[in-house]
Amino acid sequence: MKMIYTLFLFALLSSACCHAFVNDFCVANLKGPDGPSGYECKPPNTVTVDDFVFSGFVAGNTSGIFNAAVTPAFVTELPGVNGLGLSAARLDIAKGGFVPVHSHAASSEILIMVKGEITAGFITPSAAYQKTLKPGDVMVFPQGLLHFQVNSGKGKATAFLAFSNPSPGAQLLDLLLFGNNLPSELISQTTLLDYAQVKKLKARFGGRG
């Protein structure tokens, strides 16, 4: 009896049902190429719940020079976000640590404070917007603007981040300016930083020239 109803249902929905897969979600086929709107979709019958779950939001290793760690759940870790305009990350900052000034070329960001204290801000040509955040606070950083996060508390700080892009990238200002091979004279000229300052930071961030 059940089978009969199922068949009737199929008759009703025969044409509509199979389209449901196409646009209800589009899990990234990470082996294929990507395009301006994201990755190709995996065949729906190969999709499992694990395409929609990422289990790696543990405390990151904060022993690096900034004493900060970002653990992403972007499309490469969480292929189910492909095409959905959304992703997440976990941010850990040890005491004294910080995330240096950076931006995301095509993504806004929301920071949700969980533990400790972070002084965060973003900068526009006409004003800087800065706030000391504690657990329970949420702050938004609009798309494409330079921003920073500093652990201003007495212990570890943890926050979660959400992005309006499944693959938000990260443009760390120091790495941009001092990690490349552009001539130091050119960088000095176009940033108005002293030449010696540029050379000093190039040495630190791996840039040549």
Restricting to residues 129-188, which ones interact with its own copies according to CB under 8 A? Answer: 129-131, 133, 135-146, 148, 150, 160, 162-165, 167-177, 179-182, 186
Distance CA 200, CA 194 (A): 10
Nearer CB in complex with its own copies: 144/155: 144
Is residue 195 part of the contact set for its own copies (CB under 8 A)? no
Restricting to residues 61-90, which ones interact with its own copies according to CB under 8 A? Answer: 61, 63-66, 68-78, 80-90
Shortest reach from residue 1's CB to its own copies, in Å? 8
Is residue 6 part of the contact set for its own copies (CB under 8 A)? yes
Distance CA 160, CA 114 (A): 7
Is residue 33 part of the contact set for its own copies (CB under 8 A)? yes
Shortest reach from residue 30's CB to its own copies, in Å? 11
Is residue 91 part of the contact set for its own copies (CB under 8 A)? no
User: Contact at 8 Å (CB) between 135 and 114?
Assistant: yes
Q: Which one of residues 13, 154, 155, 195 is an interface residue with its own copies (CB under 8 A)?
A: 13
Shortest reach from residue 137's CB to its own copies, in Å? 5
User: Contact at 8 Å (CB) between 90 and 60?
Assistant: yes
Nearer CB in complex with its own copies: 133/157: 133
User: Contact at 8 Å (CB) between 113 and 143?
Assistant: no
Distance CA 74, CA 78 (A): 6
Is residue 46 part of the contact set for its own copies (CB under 8 A)? no
Nearer CB in complex with its own copies: 155/203: 203
Taking the CA of residue 178 as centre, how many other CA atoms within 13 Å lie in the half-sphere pointing to its CB? 17
The Cα angle at residue 126 between residues 123 and 132, in degrees rounded to 5 = 40
The Cα angle at residue 22 between residues 21 and 23, in degrees rounded to 5 = 100
Is residue 54 part of the contact set for its own copies (CB under 8 A)? yes
Exposed e or buried b per residue across 109-130, where buried means at least 16 C-beta atoms within 10 angstroms of its C-beta: bebbbeebbbbbbbeeeeeeee
Is residue 19 part of the contact set for its own copies (CB under 8 A)? yes
Return binding residues for oxalate. 104, 109
Return binding residues. 102, 104, 109, 147
